[in-house]
Chain A
Amino acid sequence: LNSGQLHDEL
């Protein structure tokens, strides 16, 4: 799981 992808929403 890419954590950057997980946190790119607000």
Chain B
Amino acid sequence: MNIFRFSGDMTHLMSVLVLLLKIHTIKSCAGISLKTQELYALVFLARYLDIVTNFISLYNTIMKLIFLGSSFMIVWYIRRHRIVRRSYDKEHDTFRHLFLVLPCFILALLINERSAFKEIMWTFSLYLEAVAILPQLVLLQRTKNIDNLTGQYVFFLGAYRALYICNWIYRYFTEPHYVHWITWISGLVQTLLYADFFYYYFNSWKNNVKLQLPA
């Protein structure tokens, strides 16, 4: 495992921890899109179907369990927790799941590396992960005051994607036959979705003003 891949996993982990920290300690999910969190739970469920049958390393298995567990825990907090659910911004979080899930599933049926069930689900998870952040970005745009933890959550997620691209470039040059078009293109699309956010995030940081995305 190279440094980019490891740093990418760690920033991914950081994003989840920042979100759980916000929800658990402040007991608030203000500015967090439940739609995006539910899509991530579905992404991990579809991708880690091989968790018991395909052992790669203890590191992989533990990380998979963390991402699966945390994504369902976050959804539970927002939907069910007595206090947390009151801060959920239902009026502004209106993105429809099906608009993202259905096209991704159809695309996975049409474009995949092998048409086995687990392979299609894995491909579906890649496509869905690429667009799962959209409801969150839309919600951020509609939110007047983005708090620091929410901003950091999205920043860490974007950093994770950028580092994975560095990881693929590194692996392409160091490993023979390492070519994965589906992974790369969906990963690139996903990272580009953060470009706009990053622009405003760094500007607010540089000018020391509160983060706000233009409508």
Q: Do A and B come from one complex?
A: yes
Given A1-B113, A5-B178, decide whether A10 and B54 contact each other with a Cβ distance below 8 A: no
Q: Bound state CA distance, A5 and B63, in angstroms?
A: 17
Interface residues on A, range: 10 to 19
> Measured between alpha carbons, how far is A6 from B5 in the docked complex, in Å?
14
Chain B interface, DSSP helix/strand/loop, else mixed = helix
Contact of B5 among A2, A3, A4, A9 (CB under 8 A): A9
Chain A positions near chain B (C-beta within 8 angstroms)? 1-10
Q: How many residues of B contact A (CB 8 A)?
A: 22
Which of A2, A5, A9 has most B Cβ within 10 Å?
A9
Chain B residues within CB distance 8 Å of chain A? 5, 9, 12, 50, 54, 56-57, 60, 63-64, 67, 113-114, 119, 122, 164, 167, 175, 177-178, 180, 183
| Cβ 8 A contact of A4, one of B54, B113, B178, B183 | B54
- Is the contact region of chain A dominated by helix, strand, or loop, or is it mixed? loop
- Residues of B near A3 (CB, < 8 A) are 114, 119
Q: How far is the CB of A2 from chain B (nearest CB, A)?
A: 8
In angstroms, Cα B11 to Cα A10, docked, is 13
Of chain B, the residue at the smallest CB distance from A2 is B177
Chosen A-B contacts, 11 in total, with CB atoms closer than 8 Å, are: A3-B114, A3-B119, A4-B54, A4-B56, A6-B180, A6-B183, A7-B56, A8-B56, A8-B57, A9-B167, A10-B9
